[in-house]
Amino acid sequence: MKPHGFHREAAEEYAKAAADLAAINPELGGRFYDEMEHLIAEVCRWPGTYRYIHPPIRRHFSTVFPYGIPYEETPAVIRIIAVMPLHRDPDYWLHRLV
């Protein structure tokens, strides 16, 4: 299993989404965190499994929350580009590839 790291903006949006959901209901925030960690673990375990959306970027979707995780596999690490709410413009994170 490869290690992972977050783009700075992805880490910020992950923390904000978890905090926003926890403010609604602490259990909801915990469930969101657990689901995102599950997705990240699957990506790190099987990085080549998920569909390309903007090569070399792939994306894995949650079936529980309306979120996806675009990521890039490098030789050393899985780089998570966004913790993407699916109601946003699907390309909002492309500037992070520079």
pLDDT, tens only, 42-70: 999 999 999 999 999 999 999 999 999 99
Superfamily of domain 4-97 in CATH is RelE-like (3.30.2310.20)
pLDDT at 39: 98
Instruction: Grade residue 98 by pLDDT with cuts at 50, 70 and 90.
Output: confident
pLDDT score of 96 more than 90 = yes
pLDDT score recorded for residue 81: 98
Q: Whole-number mean pLDDT of the chain? A: 96
User: What are the extents of the domains in the chain?
Assistant: 4-97
Nearest to 69 by CA among 56, 55, 59: 59
Distance CA 90, CA 84 (A): 8
- The percentage of residues in the chain with a pLDDT greater than 70, rounded to a whole number, is 100
**Model confidence at 15: pLDDT above 90:** yes
* Sign of CA pseudo-dihedral 91, 64, 45, 40: positive
